[in-house]
Amino acid sequence: MTRRCALVTGGSRGIGAAIATELAATGHRVAVHCRADSAAAKAVLDTLPGTGHAFVTGDVGAPGAAREIIDSAVEQLGTVDVLVNNAGVHTEQPVATTSYEDWRADWRRLVDVNLLGPADLIWHHVDHLRHRLQGPQGARIVNVGSRGAYRGEPDAPAYGATKAALHALTQSLAQSLGPLGIAVTAVAPGFVRTDLTEPMLVGPAEEDVRRQSPLGRIAVPSDVAAAVAWLSSVGAEWCSGTVIDVNGASHLR
């Protein structure tokens, strides 16, 4: 059987590295993507189970980058059946204490990276799927959103808003791409211990985060990767349109 091919953006560390590993372990050929840290991405690549993986780079927030990222993955893997939009950035801009210049710059960057980046990658991915020999049937798009879209991000409103928009994009595209046989889903992780969140776990904050979940621990990247790998599978078609909470019951909705 032909192995399915996946592109994981932001695969050089954290949740993306765990997703790349899980997809490789479940038989995929994986393109590991990063923005700048090529050494970290190549280190992930070297540890992936199986063969035939690839390395892709590019700033998803830069205009025109999405086409190059998809083209590079397709050139190396032959196709991309599964697109995982994982790359994302988080910055804080409390409205009462942030200058207008910083507020505006933060919003611009977060919209570019967390929303327009995935939207552009999806456009080019769908364009590839529509023109490939076997057609788009069976392809999967999984977007990494956030619990913050529902729970609120009082100090990081641009992050919460871009993730809420990514969930909405997921649901709109699940409807428009269904007729092509493409399932579109998202995960909404709660707090996960990664480079992105490590600075938020200093001192008593760590215990506060641990207490968020009745399971009494802080999530690790593989908790999210397991859900993403399942949503990427052929058998998950009927979940199209869903946003799965991956938050250890820390926020129920």
Binding site for ligand NAP (CB under 6 A): 9-10, 12-16, 34-37, 40, 59-61, 86-90, 113, 144, 146, 189, 191-192, 194-197
* Closer residue to ligand NAP in complex, CB, 87/173: 87
Q: How far apart are CA 197 and CA 148, in angstroms?
A: 13
What is the nearest approach in angstroms of ligand NAP to the Cβ of residue 218? 9
* Closer residue to ligand NAP in complex, CB, 146/185: 146
* Closer residue to ligand NAP in complex, CB, 114/240: 114
Query: Are the C-beta atoms of 179 and 219 separated by less than 8 Å?
Result: no
What is the nearest approach in angstroms of ligand NAP to the Cβ of residue 220? 10
Q: How far apart are CA 189 and CA 96, in angstroms?
A: 27
What is the nearest approach in angstroms of ligand NAP to the Cβ of residue 142? 12
| 3 state SS of 29 | strand
Query: Are the C-beta atoms of 236 and 136 separated by less than 8 Å?
Result: no
Active-site hit among 73, 159, 240, 243: 159
10 Å Cβ neighbour count for 163?
A: 28
Active site residue 150: no
What is the nearest approach in angstroms of ligand NAP to the Cβ of residue 198? 9
* Closer residue to ligand NAP in complex, CB, 59/237: 59
* Active site amino acids: 159
